[in-house]
Amino acid sequence: MSHKRVPKRKIVFAGAGAAAVAAAAILLPNANASQDDKADAQPKKVNAAAAADIASELASKLGEAFGGAYYDKDKQQVIVNVVGDSNNVNVEVKKAGAVARSVKNSTADLKTAAKTLKTKATIPGTAWSVDPKTNELRVTADSTVTGAKWDTVQSTVKSLGAGMATVKRSAGEFKTFAAGGDAIFGGGARCSLGFNVTTDSGAPGFITAGHCGVAAKEWSDSQNGAPVATVQKATFPGNGDFSLLTYDDANTNAPSTVNTGGGKTVNITQAAEATVGQQVERMGSTTGLHDGTVTGLDATVNYPEGTVSGLIQTDVCAEPGDSGGSLFTQDGSAIGLTSGGSGDCTAGGETFFQPVTTALAAVGAQIGGGAADNGAGAADNSAGAADNSAGAADNSAGAADNSAGAADNSAGAADNGAGAADNG
């Protein structure tokens, strides 16, 4: 099937895009709470972006008493997990406009438990993330984890102690996904551009999944087309799944706009942290636009190619052809880049995303750089369309099991020194 080419210097791709709330061991000052006129402050109604800022601020202030936070979208409130019964801690939470919730496990406790899982249960097909709603680690094992491997997962979770972690099965298989927002092609693989960015040196470029960046050095905006961008940095597996490419034409106009299909776009104005409970949307070339909720932070996923840490876990569906695609909010915040997961958009499943904030910091780039009014023009090349998703299957080099997330690009990726995912 033919693909329309976006005119040179007016390339716009759909984006993708978040990060875990970090806790710092900073002790509270011994303030006299009764003298603080904000001690009786009522919880504030905030949006998800503001919730992430409040949670991050309290993580620093509460230190070891901080047990994570999440966003109650129905009440529009930030719920903060608090360990212990210090009145000063509760005062700080109220001053920030959040709601304090007494829990057993601190962030430090959960991180220690995660280290044990990493040491004893790093098995392909397993994943874990922090779930502040349950104040536990959420451990998931896919359909490939059987026999002695499943026994190891269960025994390791049990060794952590009661109330520290839960384990469940996933019907699918954890794999990276190929392609996403607007289709890009390289080295026999098909992926999706995440968000257009401007590098610290002022060059126009974009970020996408790292397993795409290690699969090929040069990428085109059409199948079998001339290269339009070159990989500068790529991380996969390891501490993330992200890559930075710069446009070969330095005059490329690359606005940060997500094409959501049907001639509609969302202008991306900033990168933002993810918050558990936050409503998000994902755009992909195979499955189009889907929404869902952030369910976990600081996720570790053990793909067949290796372990990736620091991801966002969601219940947003995805399928082969969606890698690198945009995770964003309707108000224009870039949250994540599609990494991988299990399931599909019929039965559902888990999908993991690379936080955009972490990726930008690692590669030295910022959201933005071009005029947003070119956003709709990207639709021609895009992937919101099913046309390209069919092409993805053809381009995937005869994938043996596309429904499970396999697209034979893994071999091509490995040939490119990628050790990359099945779908490039």
- Residue carrying structure tokens 């839960």: 166
With beta carbons less than 8 A apart as the criterion, state whether 370 and 12 touch.
Answer: yes
Give Dmax over CA atoms of the chain in angstroms.
Answer: 71
Q: Round to whole Å and give the CA distance between 131 and 100.
A: 16
What are the tokens at 177? 């996904």
State the catalytic residue, choosing from 182, 241, 298, 422: 241
Q: Give the strand pairing for 365-367 and 189-199.
A: antiparallel
Q: In Å, what is the CA distance from 88 to each residue of 39, 58, 94, 412? A: 9, 12, 10, 57
DSSP class of 376: G
With beta carbons less than 8 A apart as the criterion, state whether 127 and 295 touch.
Answer: no
Angle between helices 107-120 and 147-159 in degrees, nearest 10: 150
Is 401 among the catalytic positions? no
Please list the residues that pair with 419 across neighbouring strands: none
Q: Round to whole Å and give the CA distance between 212 and 231.
A: 10
Q: Round to whole Å and give the CA distance between 75 and 70.
A: 12
Q: Round to whole Å and give the CA distance between 214 and 236.
A: 7
Q: Round to whole Å and give the CA distance between 367 and 210.
A: 18
State the catalytic residue, choosing from 56, 129, 211, 408: 211
State the catalytic residue, choosing from 170, 192, 256, 323: 323
Q: Round to whole Å and give the CA distance between 241 and 338.
A: 9
Q: Classify burial at 47, counting beta carbons within 10 Å of its beta carbon; exposed 0-12, middle 13-18, buried 19 or more.
A: middle
Q: Round to whole Å and give the CA distance between 270 and 141.
A: 34
Q: Classify burial at 44, counting beta carbons within 10 Å of its beta carbon; exposed 0-12, middle 13-18, buried 19 or more.
A: middle
Is 53 among the catalytic positions? no
Is 403 among the catalytic positions? no
Number of Cβ within a 10 Å radius of residue 86 = 14
- Give residues with Cβ within 8 angstroms of 148, minimum separation 6: none
Active site residues per annotation: 211, 241, 323
